[in-house]
């Protein structure tokens, strides 16, 4: 069975710090321009499992040594916390499960100069799409950087 390079990162990163750094090194030795870490992964319709922060930080350090950006795929606030604590560069999309999202997270994103790619079309059918839109609206007011992607559905 063949899996994508990003799937390989997702499957193997949770094991240990050294393993995470080795996998990122291997991926970046190939054709990858960035590292994308699934810091919050849905394992059921109700449950997200967060990556260990020390494992994520080891992967980030390896990517930074190679001069590469690191994206976080957070899914919820726990995944965002891992991304912030490990000092990742880009939030790959708005947080789907917004429960527990506070202004403090916004302040930390601004302080760390984290970029947000809204990707609202991804959540267009979610029951809480209005909360997700509000999250993006509140992030867009201060100085959080947005990737130059259309903000479909933001109005």
pTM tops 0.85: no
Q: What is the pLDDT of residue 1?
A: 35
Least-confidence region, from 78-87, 88-97, 119-128: 119-128
For a pLDDT cut of 90, what percent of the chain falls above it? 25
CA 134 to chain centre: 18
- Tell me the pLDDT band of 118, cut-offs 50, 70 and 90: confident
The answer to whether 97 and 127 are in contact (CB under 8 A) is no
**Which neighbouring-strand residues pair with 71?**
36, 90
Comparing 100 with 10, which gets the higher pLDDT?
A: 100
Mean pLDDT of 70-99: 93
Are the beta carbons of 30 and 6 closer than 8 angstroms? no
State how far the Cα of 9 lies from the Cα of 36, in Å rounded to an integer: 8
In order of 70, 79, 96, 120, 129, the CA distances from 125 in angstroms are 28, 22, 11, 10, 7
Domain ranges of the chain: 5-146
Size of the chain, expressed as the number of residues it contains:
155
Q: How confident is the model at residue 76 (pLDDT cuts 50, 70, 90)?
A: very high
How far is CA 133 from each of CA 97, 129, 138, rounded to the nearest angstrom? Answer: 12, 6, 9
Question: Does residue 77 contact residue 101 with C-beta atoms inside 8 Å?
Answer: yes
Average pLDDT of the residues in 88-115: 90
Average of per-residue pLDDT across 98-116? 89
Fold for the domain defined by 5-146: TIM Barrel (3.20.20)
Q: Does residue 36 or residue 24 have the better pLDDT?
A: 36
Half-sphere exposure of 6 (CA within 13 A, CB side): 12
pLDDT in tens, 3-16: 344 433 443 444 55
Residue of 81, 80, 38 lying closest to 59 (CA atoms): 38
């Amino acid at each position: 069975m063949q899996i994508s390079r990003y799937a390989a990162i997702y499957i193997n990163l949770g094991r240990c710090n050294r393993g995470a750094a080795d996998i990122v090194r291997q991926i970046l030795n190939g054709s990858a321009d960035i590292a994308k870490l699934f810091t919050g992964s849905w394992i059921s319709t109700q449950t997200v499992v967060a990556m260990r922060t020390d494992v994520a930080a080891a992967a980030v350090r390896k990517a930074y040594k190679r001069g590469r950006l690191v994206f976080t795929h957070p899914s919820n606030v726990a995944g965002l916390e891992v991304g912030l604590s490990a000092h990742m560069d880009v939030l790959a999309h708005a947080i789907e499960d917004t429960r527990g999202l506070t202004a403090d997270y916004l302040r930390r994103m601004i302080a760390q100069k984290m970029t947000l790619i809204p990707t609202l079309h991804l959540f267009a059918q979610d029951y809480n799409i209005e909360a997700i839109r509000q999250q993006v609206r509140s992030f867009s007011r201060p100085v959080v950087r947005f990737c130059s992607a259309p903000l479909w559905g933001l109005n």
